[in-house]
């Protein structure tokens, strides 16, 4: 995820699920969906507008335009001077930012709850009122190039990850980095930004999420007043993306970089995402990731590689089910000193094969089930986190009902479901195995 300003992202709890808070949702007449999440503990509100457009919706050759436009959205509009929106938010003691993923672009402000109207006035203004000029382009493009330098070019792990995703997705936009390839990013221009804006920024392509110390009726009245009056844009078309062809061949890659001190290996598989009305397989994959690599001390890979064989410093398995199209299931192993990547890879494969044969440890299963239930309780402490669950869900093909059903779907998973998911997911043909190494290490 990329954002206009660097986000100090809190360590994210891997089992985060949306809490069943007090949630109201409705549509405005122009097609804009609104979700209100109530939390009256503190007089604070978060307004978020999520657009159903992200980096995977870009035209070929224009990688990075979704994120570049996100930066440009803070420039001059019909009613606001360049930077005035953020200045006004700050003058009211609030904070604001924006972020872009492959599937969505979102803007938010966090302010005292009595300032909501002012936020809606400004956010609705820039939905269609952006007035970009040629002077905005060069400087802000330099900022984004420095952002790419900072996040990607300076980090061998990020470059490795970028190469790996490009190898996994042979035809889909998820293989192109959100921030854009450097050579395309350098050439993005005013026309690209304006065209992308006109095509995708409209009330019928946006979701408003308001979370905090607010009442649904007052949000509804304000939303009608500021967003409801904007005409729907008939140019907004259903999202159409290239699909992956059948994956017939496992791919392997080695990325060497002199800046790597600690080599590691990773394997990613193409995986099904959470689908509206059908989240069961995704729920089983959440358990599978936890059981295989959730906790270093108790997971299948942690026990086998870190504790028993003592060949690994770190192991992990991960799965992000929220995605508009096919997502990934990943495995990571960091070998101990003097242990080769081949050795830990072989050990990882043998451990997973044995796991599928032996089945799920029931105590471990019950512990994870409880942690998933608990995470729903802990999630209620952070209303912005709940807002994110709705915003990302609704821009990634899910409905409010899907988001709300998810905790229950997770509680219904059985050990047999998990083994079935494992047998389905570990298909070598749709995998990429990557080794990240220094320039001098031998491939043993």
Among positions 354-373, residues that touch another protein (CB under 8 A) are: 363-364, 366-368, 370-371, 373
Q: In angstroms, rounded to a whole number, what is the distance separating the alpha carbons of residues 406 and 202? A: 29
Count of residues engaged in binding another protein, rule: CB under 8 A: 71
Residue nearer to another protein on the CB measure, 5 or 26: 5
Among positions 223-252, residues that touch another protein (CB under 8 A) are: none
Give 128-152 as a DSSP string: H-B---HHHHHHHHHHHHHHHIIII
Pick one of 6, 81, 217, 231: the residue that binds another protein (CB under 8 A).
6
CA angle 105, 106, 107 (to 5 degrees): 135
The reply on whether position 9 binds another protein by CB under 8 A is no
The reply on whether position 401 binds another protein by CB under 8 A is no
As measured in angstroms, the least distance from the Cβ of 258 to another protein is: 6
As measured in angstroms, the least distance from the Cβ of 295 to another protein is: 6
As measured in angstroms, the least distance from the Cβ of 305 to another protein is: 11
Token couple for 393:
């869900």
Among positions 154-213, residues that touch another protein (CB under 8 A) are: 154, 212-213
Pick one of 262, 276, 278, 414: the residue that binds another protein (CB under 8 A).
262
Among positions 98-157, residues that touch another protein (CB under 8 A) are: 110-114, 138-147, 149-150, 153-154
Residue nearer to another protein on the CB measure, 325 or 376: 376
Residue nearer to another protein on the CB measure, 228 or 263: 263
Among positions 57-76, residues that touch another protein (CB under 8 A) are: none
Q: In angstroms, rounded to a whole number, what is the distance separating the alpha carbons of residues 342 and 361? A: 28
Longest distance between any two alpha carbons in the chain, whole Å = 66
Residue nearer to another protein on the CB measure, 149 or 401: 149
Token couple for 216:
């649904």
Provide long-range contacts, Cβ within 8 A and 24+ apart, for 29-32: 29/228, 30/203, 30/204, 30/227, 30/228, 30/230, 30/231, 30/232, 31/203, 31/204, 31/232, 32/203, 32/204, 32/206, 32/207, 32/208, 32/223, 32/227, 32/228, 32/230
Place of tokens 């436009």: 69
Token couple for 173:
């936009």
Residue nearer to another protein on the CB measure, 149 or 342: 149
As measured in angstroms, the least distance from the Cβ of 391 to another protein is: 18
**Interface with another protein by CB under 8 A: which range of 98-106, 258-266, 392-400, 427-435?**
258-266
As measured in angstroms, the least distance from the Cβ of 158 to another protein is: 12
Q: List all residues 6 or more positions away from 336 whose beta carbon is below 8 Å from its beta carbon.
A: 310, 311, 312, 313
Q: In angstroms, rounded to a whole number, what is the distance separating the alpha carbons of residues 183 and 2? A: 18
Among positions 370-399, residues that touch another protein (CB under 8 A) are: 370-371, 373-375, 377-378, 380-383
Report phi then psi at 29, rounded to 5: -65, -25
Residue nearer to another protein on the CB measure, 26 or 378: 378
Q: In angstroms, rounded to a whole number, what is the distance separating the alpha carbons of residues 347 and 345? A: 5
Q: Say which DSSP state 309 is in.
A: S
Instruction: State the angle between helix axes of 84-91 and 116-128 in degrees (0 to 180), rounded to the nearest 10.
Output: 170
Strand order in the sheet with 44-51: 2-3, 95-100, 105-112, 44-51, 206-212, 33-38, 22-27
As measured in angstroms, the least distance from the Cβ of 296 to another protein is: 8
Catalytic residue among 20, 38, 70, 366: 70
Residue nearer to another protein on the CB measure, 234 or 338: 338
The reply on whether position 81 binds another protein by CB under 8 A is no
As measured in angstroms, the least distance from the Cβ of 298 to another protein is: 5
Q: What is the dihedral of CA 58, 282, 422, 56, to 10 degrees?
A: 0
Please tell me the chain's helix, strand, coil percentages from 3-state DSSP, rounded to the nearest 5: 45, 20, 35
Q: Is 70 a catalytic residue?
A: yes
Residue nearer to another protein on the CB measure, 182 or 232: 182
Pick one of 124, 306, 323, 351: the residue that binds another protein (CB under 8 A).
306
Q: What is the dihedral of CA 363, 366, 372, 375, to 10 degrees?
A: -70
Among positions 20-59, residues that touch another protein (CB under 8 A) are: 40-44
Pick one of 16, 24, 186, 336: the residue that binds another protein (CB under 8 A).
336
As measured in angstroms, the least distance from the Cβ of 98 to another protein is: 12
**Interface with another protein by CB under 8 A: which range of 196-204, 297-305, 415-423, 427-435?**
297-305
The reply on whether position 350 binds another protein by CB under 8 A is no
**Interface with another protein by CB under 8 A: which range of 99-107, 294-302, 315-323, 387-395?**
294-302
Q: In angstroms, rounded to a whole number, what is the distance separating the alpha carbons of residues 123 and 2? A: 20
Active-site positions read 70
């Amino acid at each position: 995820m990329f954002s206009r300003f660097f986000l100090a992202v809190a360590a994210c709890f891997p089992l985060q699920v949306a809490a069943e808070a007090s949630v109201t949702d409705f549509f405005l007449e122009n097609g804009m969906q609104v979700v209100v999440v109530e939390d009256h503990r503190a007089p604070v509100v978060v307004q978020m507008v999520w657009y159903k457009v992200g980096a995977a919706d870009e035209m070929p050759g224009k990688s990075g335009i979704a994120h570049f436009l996100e930066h440009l959205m803070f420039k001059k509009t019909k009613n606001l001077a360049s930077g005035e929106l953020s200045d006004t938010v700050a003058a009211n003691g609030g904070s604001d930012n924006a972020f872009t993923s492959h599937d969505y672009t979102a803007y938010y402000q966090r302010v005292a709850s009595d300032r909501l109207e002012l936020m809606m006035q400004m956010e609705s203004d820039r939905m269609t009122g952006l007035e970009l000029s040629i002077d905005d382009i060069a400087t802000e493009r330099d900022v984004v190039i420095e952002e790419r330098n900072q996040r990607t070019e300076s980090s061998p792990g990020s470059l490795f990850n970028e190469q790996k995703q490009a190898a996994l997705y042979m035809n889909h936009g998820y293989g192109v980095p959100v921030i854009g390839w450097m050579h395309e990013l350098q050439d993005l221009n005013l026309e690209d930004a304006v065209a992308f804006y006109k095509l995708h920024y409209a009330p019928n392509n946006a979701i408003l999420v308001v979370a905090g110390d607010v009442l649904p009726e007052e949000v509804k009245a304000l939303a009608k007043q500021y967003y409801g009056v904007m005409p729907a844009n008939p140019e907004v078309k259903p999202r159409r993306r290239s699909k992956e062809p059948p994956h017939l061949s496992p791919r392997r890659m080695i990325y060497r970089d002199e800046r790597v001190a600690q080599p590691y290996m990773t394997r990613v598989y193409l995986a099904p995402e959470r689908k509206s009305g059908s989240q069961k397989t995704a729920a089983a994959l959440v358990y599978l990731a936890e059981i295989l690599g959730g906790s270093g001390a108790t997971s299948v890979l942690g026990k086998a590689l870190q504790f028993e064989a003592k060949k690994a410093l770190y192991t992990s398995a991960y799965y992000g089910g929220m995605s508009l199209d096919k997502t990934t299931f990943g495995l990571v192993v960091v070998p101990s000193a003097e242990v080769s990547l081949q050795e830990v890879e072989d050990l990882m494969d043998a451990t997973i094969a044995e796991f599928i044969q032996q089945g799920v440890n029931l105590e471990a299963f019950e512990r994870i089930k409880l942690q998933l239930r608990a995470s729903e309780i802990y999630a209620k402490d952070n209303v912005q986190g709940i807002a994110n669950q709705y915003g990302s869900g609704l821009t990634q093909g899910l409905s409010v009902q899907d988001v709300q059903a998810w905790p229950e779907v997770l509680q219904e998973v059985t050990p047999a479901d998990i083994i079935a998911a494992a047998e389905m997911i570990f298909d070598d043909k749709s995998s990429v195995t990557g080794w990240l190494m220094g320039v001098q290490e031998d491939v043993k």
